[in-house]
């Protein structure tokens, strides 16, 4: 649940002291209607929050499609009645939120579909990294989830992920001990280890890593890693990461990935949504 | 000036309860160094804020290149010493901020350069719209300015911009009266009017608009509008908007634009910056 | 739109832990009514926010006059029903907000009327400076606008205003270049220049200033400046500032001011509003 | 202690996205100095907070006079070195804070001095009411205390003050029981009762009120109330309130007031402080 | 009144990005009901806030017992209908708030009852100190008041309490002057002095202390102090503090305490409340 | 990292408008020293934050023992020099934070030691639940970690924990499918299932639960569950929860628990820390 104060901050960012144009024109009190319609095929996200934004400016909104819905061009998704002043205050903030989040959702869905197609029915979740615009994780994850994706990790506090940048401190050869320590002390957490080669992957797997996150191997090389790891007595889950996008998601899934870890959703271009304001 | 509490919120978003991996490993107190280096040609932005982020986790940072600098691959831009715990807390938040803002700055610079080339020496400022990710305007504008761009408008409260969505309320034929009203009541503001055709542009100009923002005309058609408006006794400034990016910025400038209004910087992919963490 | 959290902060300032007197008396649950009535002729402001304040304490308010209305002594403007506890929690915060904002509105209206009378029909807007109590701009501007005034500038980020304190840095003789630079780089902004003499005014006007803000000249001297500037081929707007209040607003308007820039509204004494609490 | 985040909010109110003029001019990095000097006799307040404001924009400030000091025209009170950008960011916010708070302090001091003169050596504290601009109590009380005043009450949560608006609920004749109840349940609090006549004052005093706050009686009538109450076996403290200002503070003190309760400090005009910015 | 933003922060603490389990299961939209029932005898507190918490997650709550009510095991106190997603979001936050605050209320009530029994009808209020968990005073005091207690002091800003740690600065023998100074300058405040012996108590009382707070004397020794002080011509109120809990509250009351000052409520174990979630 | 603004809020809670006593006494500027010393054996926590609190009031603190240290009575842990005003502002807030967090740390350590002793060398982590005082999780977890414990889960967003209250919605018999769904969709998360009997435990384990959280079985019955589950081909981790405290932690560990999940740390009484303030 996005708090009211967060929504109010989005509105205040755009109009800290009201809408100068509409107020100066003197048309503020006139009644009107705003409608948001898909201009292209898209997966909708953020519509409940956009609706709340419009309500907070004084409009009466109606949500016509839920987040997660696949829309075709021309489908109406959100509508609101209100004064010209209220409509203009909420118009663009609601629009930009819808466009950004639906862009993320649409791209996530494409990744999910590609992974699913490549996997031949095996579930291969698509997990979004932390690499979005700082300060937007709460909103961006709404888009990811609407698209059918999940969060790779919410941040540093909730999960165990060993990078080479940790090994710098515990030293070469310290991985088995490091993994053992993490597993012993955090028995409710899986241990995820990022690796860059087959050798590293096998080392991590043998040391007990629950998830091996393979960074920037092409699908063919990735397939070798996955096969080798899956053949172990206690096989870890194998995640592909680093440059994973819709062009290669299917290939990674076909190559045996149990999971795709990707920043691609955050780089989505905003979905195109048409706004119409009419007088009532 | 980005307030400390804003920076703390970015850190708390990523690590509300510390770094589980580093703390569980027990390596937190070990001393290290982090360095950020350009991986591609880029225009740097956000480095002062990234430095402050690292300082707030307890590191001692050094800014080696200022925002606005053009960097070549391999150039070191920011470095910090600190404990493994502090370095890991700040690493990614600082990185993502640098990458997003430098991405915006780099794309803005490209637009600025293209406009400048097209304009043949005439200044043609590049103004970024409000169409970024809601809640990021303070940060995104740092990138825009580092790239040499300006803000089109900060939001609804600070400027006068007449859209067709206003005309819905004051009615057809009401534009001259609307412009006159805005000019009479807000003598310190320019009146900007968005138009979609030559006829609309001339009508707005004759009604006294200070700036005509021409929406989505191709450069050739735009040139006609610009020429016609500039030939008026009191010529307005003519801005090109709608789909302006680095591929056409020069053409619009050559076509007579006094200003480019664009959302392209917000759609920039993050700049690529390499991070190295070493032990000291 | 003033956010809910802002209103809650005003209530919390006055009653962080409830109303000790009313609660200790044990009368909190008894039903009552509060009414706010003008005690003197005033221009109302803040009544919508005062109503929301009362609603947030649990009352059911009714707004009986809108912000901007001119009230005569005895006119009822706001009424609310609620428990004694709720009424006492909101009573004074709502009252002080109404009194401060209506005081500002009333004084602004007087300035507006004086300017209008002096101008003989020409529109001479009254613009309020930034010189209010720090931290109150959002609320104070509600009063200014209810009184018919406008904001001179919202702050440093939204407009161009050259002071002598800028010339300190770009040096004597640098004004033409400074103005040219501002105009070239910010084509959507007017350039306002503050001057203290006829010579400075003419210099600024010739250098292309859009608005000349004449500081602390008496109306007669101001008239000379206005006449000289208005006689230029591209006449700038001329604003009077520095000590402008209702005693001289008409004179400045008559002297040719296109705009009055004044801090007088912020120095208004609070409007007098009578409160009655009754039992129901 | 005013928190950093409060000061940052004051700066952000005035410059949410930097200083457009100074940055566009390109003079931001040039070194300068700002100095604040009394332009009239005043009691200084807020100088420590103004100094912190300037430090937060990046200046190096020096506090030359402490809050509470009586300054003569021409006395330097605060100085800071910094870049043109930093100086311009802090200039007006620091100035307006100094002027508002010193205005309050100066007027409070005048009330304190008048009361002291009238009282012939007896201490007669001056207590400021809650009737300031909502949202400014933390800052305004800095001014009151710098002037030698005290807070009447911080708000509703910390003290017991019976108004006629409470009696509406407990009914006529209920005062003795109400006072008894308050005293029994809140033994660490004094019970203050507001009255409008001698009869009410005596009734409240006999019922055990610790402080009688006499509303809007002229000094002569007030003197009667004070004398009658002070003659009781357990005399309460007698406070004068309602229209108390420096013109009558001495008279009320001479009339036997133990305390003056006044909103006059909040209506103070801002103190006049001169700012000079120079190049270094 | 606890502000909405405070309640939202409590929810966000527990679920910054939604409820992963319920959402992943896909049962979020299913309708259900949650009910909160006392599992032991308790004094209820926080139920209005718990209800608001549930409303903010999207449930429709019904408050069945008010704060302050004494409940027997099995009594239903709060119920809400909503989606599985909404119920799970609010469940534990509402529960923990109810349990903590009702724990405080229940223990406070026990202290109040013990004091009352010991006092033989004389009112002996129970005042809670500031010694709770930092950051929880607003909520904890709801529990104290629901249990029939009062706040000893809200904090440092609202009351006068002389500790030995003040005497360190004004020096031995300075107490009479210190008390005189406080009384002269803050005539609306009682002066409370903490003492540790009969001698100190008499010294403080003779110096004019309004309330003597006797620290850590056993009831018998306390009785001596109380008797001696109450025998003075202007007897102060005598408070017992330091280790006061329900085992000795009656004894202190019987020993002549006018007031008990205690941190015991904050150390209360949470009240036991049973939650049932059912499908509808 | 606890943000500065969080610490400032703790100070403002206690002293929104300064320290009335110290300021009225006029001793504020006198120099002094404060020292915090253990009064009983304790595990220290929050000392870094307490030090920062004192620094923010203007003191110069020195941390003499780090969080996590075991202190004996009389050991000095924190000291600060500052003015009487600064020392009094920070004294109690820092103290209460130290006492609450060290109380949590001390009790956590006891649980950790008891578990370790019972486990005969096998690591049995102690995980603290979410059942603390709402709004204190950031601080309380500092105490848990200083005591050697871990967080069971940070909240609802970061982990998968199936309660009977979820089964209400997916229905009897739905557990295997529910677990399968969670595992398929969240491959980086362990699935934790709470059970109340051996049968439920085996059902959950066979359905693939990674961790079985056994609620409120006595150690003997728990041992049966643990043995049965550990004998499975893919044995889950078995956690004991519900009433786990230092009296039975060893027994549960001896009974085969892989993990203890407990709210006991939150119910710790505050550690006893002595404060001394002296003049310098």
Mutate to test the interface with C, among A3, A6, A8, A53 (most CBs of C within 10 A): A8
Question: Chains E and F: how many Cβ contacts under 8 Å?
Answer: 190
Across E180-236, the runs of DSSP E, i.e. the strands, are 191-195, 211-215
Tokens 């005189």, located at residue? E180
Q: How far apart are the first and last CA of chain F?
A: 33
Enumerate residues 6+ apart whose C-beta is below 8 A from A113.
none
Q: Which residues pair with D259 in a beta bridge?
A: D239
Kindly tell me if the per-residue pLDDT of C172 is higher than 90.
Answer: no
The answer to whether B107 and B131 are in contact (CB under 8 A) is no
**Tens digits of per-residue pLDDT, B157-202?**
999 999 999 999 998 899 999 999 999 999 999 999 999 999 999 9
Q: Which residues of A touch E4 (CB under 8 A)?
A: 4-5
Contacts 24+ apart (CB under 8 A), D148-151: D148/D68, D148/D108, D148/D109, D148/D112, D149/D108, D149/D111, D149/D112, D149/D125, D149/D265, D150/D125, D150/D126, D150/E185, D150/E186, D150/F24, D151/D127, D151/F17
Q: CA-nearest residue of chain E to D122?
A: E184
**pTM score > 0.95 for this model?**
yes
List phi, psi (to 5°) of B90. -95, -25
Kindly tell me if the per-residue pLDDT of F96 is higher than 90.
Answer: yes
Interface contact A5-C3, CB threshold 8 A = yes
Mean pLDDT for B82-99 is 98
The share of chain B scoring above pLDDT 70, in percent, equals 100
Would you give the DSSP letter of residue F138? Answer: H
User: If you count them, how many residues does chain B have?
Assistant: 280
The answer to whether D275 and D80 are in contact (CB under 8 A) is no
Interface contact A18-C1, CB threshold 8 A = yes
List phi, psi (to 5°) of E173. 85, -5
Mutate to test the interface with C, among B1, B129, B182, B187 (most CBs of C within 10 A): B187
Comparing CB atoms, the residue among B152, B153, B188 nearest residue C152 is B188
Q: Which residues of E touch C18 (CB under 8 A)?
A: 1, 145
Q: Which residues of B touch F3 (CB under 8 A)?
A: 5, 8-9, 11-12
Comparing CB atoms, the residue among E157, E185, E211 nearest residue D125 is E185
Give Dmax over CA atoms of chain F in angstroms.
75
How close does chain B come to D19, measured CA to CA in Å?
10
Q: What is the pLDDT of residue F182?
A: 98
How close does chain B come to D59, measured CA to CA in Å?
12
How close does chain A come to C142, measured CA to CA in Å?
9
Q: CA-nearest residue of chain B to C212?
A: B188
CA angle D76, D78, D79 (to 5 degrees): 100
Residue B121's pLDDT band (cuts 50, 70, 90)? confident
How close does chain F come to D151, measured CA to CA in Å?
10
Mutate to test the interface with F, among B2, B10, B13, B17 (most CBs of F within 10 A): B17
| Alpha carbons E208 and F52: distance in angstroms, whole number | 38
| Alpha carbons F248 and F267: distance in angstroms, whole number | 16
Comparing CB atoms, the residue among F8, F11, F16 nearest residue D138 is F16
The answer to whether B186 and B203 are in contact (CB under 8 A) is no
The answer to whether E194 and E221 are in contact (CB under 8 A) is no
The answer to whether C276 and C34 are in contact (CB under 8 A) is yes
Residue A259's nearest CA partner among A232, A226, A228, A237 is A237
Both structure tokens of C148: 């018919």
Q: CA-nearest residue of chain B to C112?
A: B185
Enumerate residues 6+ apart whose C-beta is below 8 A from F249.
F111, F114, F115, F118, F126, F260, F262
Q: Which residues of F touch B3 (CB under 8 A)?
A: none
Kindly tell me if the per-residue pLDDT of F124 is higher than 90.
Answer: yes
Residue E265 burial by Cβ neighbours in a 10 Å radius (0-12, 13-18, 19+): buried
Comparing CB atoms, the residue among A127, A188, A210 nearest residue F159 is A188
User: If you count them, how many residues does chain E have?
Assistant: 280
Which chains have 3 or more CB–CB distances shorter than 8 Å to chain B?
Answer: A, C, D, F
Q: What is the pLDDT of residue E121?
A: 85
Both structure tokens of C231: 């006689």
Q: What is the pLDDT of residue D172?
A: 83
| Alpha carbons C272 and D257: distance in angstroms, whole number | 26
| Alpha carbons D218 and D196: distance in angstroms, whole number | 11
Kindly tell me if the per-residue pLDDT of F218 is higher than 90.
Answer: yes
The H-assigned helical ranges of D147-248 are 164-170, 175-185, 198-206, 219-230
Q: What is the pLDDT of residue F121?
A: 85
Mean pLDDT for B254-263 is 98
What would the DSSP string read from start to end of A51-68?
Answer: HHHHHHTT-EEEE-S-TT
The answer to whether E136 and E2 are in contact (CB under 8 A) is no
**Tens digits of per-residue pLDDT, B13-51?**
999 999 999 999 999 999 999 999 999 999 999 999 999
Interface contact A160-B20, CB threshold 8 A = yes
Interface contact D169-C17, CB threshold 8 A = no
Q: CA-nearest residue of chain D to E123?
A: D184
Mutate to test the interface with D, among E137, E148, E188 (most CBs of D within 10 A): E188
| Alpha carbons B188 and A200: distance in angstroms, whole number | 65
Q: CA-nearest residue of chain B to D55?
A: B1
The answer to whether D250 and D233 are in contact (CB under 8 A) is no
- What is the pLDDT of chain E when averaged over all its residues? 97
- What is the pLDDT of chain C when averaged over all its residues? 97
Task: Name the helix (H) or strand (E) containing D239.
Answer: strand D237-241
The answer to whether F130 and E11 are in contact (CB under 8 A) is no
| Alpha carbons F57 and F65: distance in angstroms, whole number | 21
| Alpha carbons A91 and D94: distance in angstroms, whole number | 36
Comparing CB atoms, the residue among B9, B17, B24 nearest residue F154 is B17
Strands B126-128 and B259-262, by their bridges, are parallel
How close does chain F come to A118, measured CA to CA in Å?
16
How close does chain B come to C61, measured CA to CA in Å?
29
The answer to whether D192 and D211 are in contact (CB under 8 A) is yes
Interface contact C18-E4, CB threshold 8 A = no
Interface contact A3-E9, CB threshold 8 A = yes
How close does chain D come to F104, measured CA to CA in Å?
28
Kindly tell me if the per-residue pLDDT of C37 is higher than 90.
Answer: yes
List phi, psi (to 5°) of F45. -150, 150
Residue C144's nearest CA partner among A20, B33, E134 is A20
Q: Is B199 helix (H, G, I), strand (E, B) or coil?
A: helix
The H-assigned helical ranges of B153-233 are 164-170, 175-185, 198-206, 219-230
Both structure tokens of C239: 């604003």
Comparing CB atoms, the residue among F125, F153, F184 nearest residue A187 is F125
Mean pLDDT for D167-176 is 94
Kindly tell me if the per-residue pLDDT of F85 is higher than 90.
Answer: yes
Q: What is the pLDDT of residue B172?
A: 83
List phi, psi (to 5°) of E228. -65, -40
Q: Which residues of F touch A239 (CB under 8 A)?
A: 187-188
**Tens digits of per-residue pLDDT, C123-142?**
999 999 999 999 999 999 99
The share of chain C scoring above pLDDT 70, in percent, equals 100
Q: What is the pLDDT of residue F13?
A: 98
CA angle B17, A267, A238 (to 5 degrees): 65
Interface contact E1-C23, CB threshold 8 A = no
Mean pLDDT for F204-208 is 97
Q: Predicted ipTM?
A: 0.97
How close does chain C come to B223, measured CA to CA in Å?
19
Interface contact A186-F154, CB threshold 8 A = no
Helix C84-119 × helix C47-56 angle, to 10°: 170
The answer to whether E169 and F84 are in contact (CB under 8 A) is yes
Which residues of chain A register pLDDT less than 50? none
Residue D121's pLDDT band (cuts 50, 70, 90)? confident
Q: CA-nearest residue of chain C to D267?
A: C269
What would the DSSP string read from start to end of A162-213?
Answer: E-HHHHHHH-TT-HHHHHHHHHHH-TTB-EEEEESSHHHHHHHHHTT-SEEE
| Alpha carbons D32 and D57: distance in angstroms, whole number | 13
Q: Is F35 helix (H, G, I), strand (E, B) or coil?
A: strand
Comparing CB atoms, the residue among E3, E5, E151 nearest residue C17 is E151
Comparing CB atoms, the residue among C9, C11, C17 nearest residue E138 is C17
Residue B94's nearest CA partner among B52, B135, B38, B66 is B52
Interface contact F4-B9, CB threshold 8 A = no
**Tens digits of per-residue pLDDT, C218-248?**
999 999 999 999 999 999 999 999 999 999 9
Q: What is the pLDDT of residue E172?
A: 83
Both structure tokens of E55: 């409303």
């Amino acid at each position: 649940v996005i708090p009211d104060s967060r929504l109010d901050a989005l509105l205040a960012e755009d109009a800290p002291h009201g809408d100068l144009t509409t107020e100066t024109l003197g048309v503020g009190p006139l009644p009107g209607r705003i409608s948001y319609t898909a201009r292209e095929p898209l997966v909708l996200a953020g519509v409940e929050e956009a609706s709340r934004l419009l309500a907070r400016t004084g409009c009466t909104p109606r949500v016509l499609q839920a987040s997660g819905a696949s829309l075709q061009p021309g489908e109406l998704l959100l509508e609101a009645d209100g004064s010209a002043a209220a409509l203009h205050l909420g118009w663009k903030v609601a629009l930009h939120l819808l466009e950004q989040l639906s862009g993320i959702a649409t791209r996530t869905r494409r990744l999910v579909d590609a992974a699913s197609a490549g996997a031949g029915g095996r579930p291969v979740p698509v997990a979004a990294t932390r690499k979005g615009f700082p300060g937007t994780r709460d909103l961006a994850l709404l888009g990811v989830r609407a698209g059918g994706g999940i969060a790779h990790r919410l941040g540093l506090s909730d999960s165990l992920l060993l990078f080479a940048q940790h090994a710098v401190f515990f030293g070469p050869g310290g991985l088995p001990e490091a993994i053992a320590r993490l597993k012993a002390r955090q028995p409710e957490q899986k241990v995820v280890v990022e690796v860059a080669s087959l050798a590293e992957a096998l080392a991590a797997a043998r040391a007990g890593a629950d998830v091996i996150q393979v960074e920037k191997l092409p699908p063919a090389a990735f397939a070798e890693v996955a096969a080798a790891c899956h053949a172990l007595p206690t096989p870890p889950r194998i995640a592909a990461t680093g440059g994973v996008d819709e062009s290669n998601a299917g290939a990674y899934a076909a190559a045996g990935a149990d999971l795709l870890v990707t920043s691609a959703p955050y780089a989505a271009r905003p979905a195109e949504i048409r706004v119409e304001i009419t007088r009532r």
